[in-house]
């Protein structure tokens, strides 16, 4: 509704109707009847007060502002909720300040496990050198999964089992042996719970962490510990024939000039890793390393075992020396993996 107001000075002034009227000389003027007194001009009414600014747009603007503030505060949690509401298959990402778990439960292992376990899967890969068991992290609701390259390298078939027990067939989308990363995609999957990827740059030594994976095929196994070191130079093999350490269930790697779990071979690559004392065992490779707020901060990739190279995996065990690929390395490599990876 449009409103109009007269500006000061736009009002009509009313003059004396007798003022300026022509005199009729033929009509005698009765001196006893003086002319009517001159009427003063009508005073202009006081200017109407300026209308208050209309607030018609306040509702939508305030709503948008409120949504923006909430989105900034919630971060990755909002990204995941938006993904679920819109059906978008974008990766949910956040800073380490985001809480996937309630703030009152931050650091509570049981709560973290309940929140993140549905986003971690068991991977069984079959190749010409045998079978391997590893883990993976769901990053989109339609079944994109990040894992280690050495878990699926050279695989002729891949079976994935979710935390709920449902099985899928998966295909390799892309691999990057230089970072020991791979991206696989489930066939016919939808409505899966995607993990929230955190910010590994904010991780500090001493931070509480939780690891979830499928050691020895025991899916959904949860362990906890702390970050014991950062930026550890870990060297792993890029040869397909070195998959799972030639069959002993461990992945050969080296750091500090020493080799562990076997010979890494002649073709290797080195990356910066997060070191943790959370218990990792054969089968944890490709699984999730999670911060106290429930965000994925790393992909578990290597662990030292006290068992000798000739020992079976049943003789091996965690001694609190595990390594994970920082999640920021994973996020920066996603476009490359979706395009087929650097090994294609």
Pick the closest to residue 281 from 239, 314, 232, 254 (CA basis): 314
Contact between 288 and 195 (Cβ < 8 Å)? yes
CA 124 vs CA 113, 151, 169, 296, 332: distances in Å: 22, 8, 10, 22, 26
CA 154 to chain CA mean position, Å: 30
**Sequential DSSP letters for 70-114:** HHHHHTHHHHHHHHHHHT--PPPB--TT--SS-GGGTT-HHHHHH
Please, how many CA atoms are within 13 Å of residue 88, restricted to the half-sphere of its CB? Answer: 11
| Separation between Cα atoms, residue 65 and residue 71, nearest integer Å | 10
273 φ/ψ angles, rounded to the nearest 5 degrees: -125, 155
Hunting for tokens 């578990």 — which residue is that?
300
Contact between 167 and 161 (Cβ < 8 Å)? yes
77 φ/ψ angles, rounded to the nearest 5 degrees: -60, -40
CA 98 vs CA 18, 196, 200, 285: distances in Å: 84, 9, 13, 25
DSSP summary character for residue 262: S
The residues carrying an active-site annotation are 150, 180, 285
Q: Does an H or E element contain 125, and which?
A: strand 120-127
DSSP summary character for residue 243: G
| Separation between Cα atoms, residue 209 and residue 11, nearest integer Å | 78
């Amino acid at each position: 509704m449009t409103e109009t107001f007269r500006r000061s000075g736009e009002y009509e002034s009313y003059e004396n109707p007798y003022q300026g009227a022509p005199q009729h000389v033929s009509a005698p003027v009765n001196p006893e009847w003086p002319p009517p007194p001159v009427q003063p001009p009508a005073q202009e009414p006081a200017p109407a007060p300026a209308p208050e600014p209309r607030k018609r747009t306040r509702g939508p603007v305030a709503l948008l502002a409120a949504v923006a503030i909430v989105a900034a505060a919630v971060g990755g949690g909002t990204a995941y909720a938006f993904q679920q509401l819109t059906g978008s298959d974008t990766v949910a990402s956040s800073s380490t300040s985001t809480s996937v778990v309630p703030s009152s439960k931050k650091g509570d292992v049981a709560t973290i496990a309940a929140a993140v376990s549905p986003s971690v899967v068991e991977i069984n890969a079959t190749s010409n050198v045998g079978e391997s068991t590893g883990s993976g992290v769901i990053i989109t609701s339609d079944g994109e999964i990040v894992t280690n390259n050495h878990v699926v390298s050279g695989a002729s078939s891949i079976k994935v089992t979710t935390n709920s027990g449902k099985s899928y067939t998966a295909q390799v989308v892309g691999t990057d042996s230089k970072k020991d990363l791979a991206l696989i995609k489930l066939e016919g999957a939808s409505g899966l719970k995607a993990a929230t990827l955190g910010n590994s740059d904010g991780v500090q030594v001493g931070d509480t962490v939780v690891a979830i994976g499928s050691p020895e095929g025991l899916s959904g196994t949860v362990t906890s510990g702390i970050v014991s070191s950062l930026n550890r130079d870990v060297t792993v093999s890029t040869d397909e024939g070195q998959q799972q350490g030639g069959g002993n269930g461990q992945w050969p790697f080296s750091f500090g000039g020493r080799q562990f779990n076997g010979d890494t071979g002649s073709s290797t690559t080195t990356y910066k890793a997060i070191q943790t004392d959370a218990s990792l065992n054969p089968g944890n490779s490709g699984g999730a390393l999670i911060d106290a707020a429930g965000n994925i901060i790393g992909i578990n990739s290597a662990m030292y075992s006290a068992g000798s190279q000739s020992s079976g995996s049943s003789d091996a065990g965690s001694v609190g020396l595990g390594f994970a690929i920082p999640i920021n390395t994973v996020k920066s490599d996603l476009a490359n993996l979706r395009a087929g990876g650097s090994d294609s």
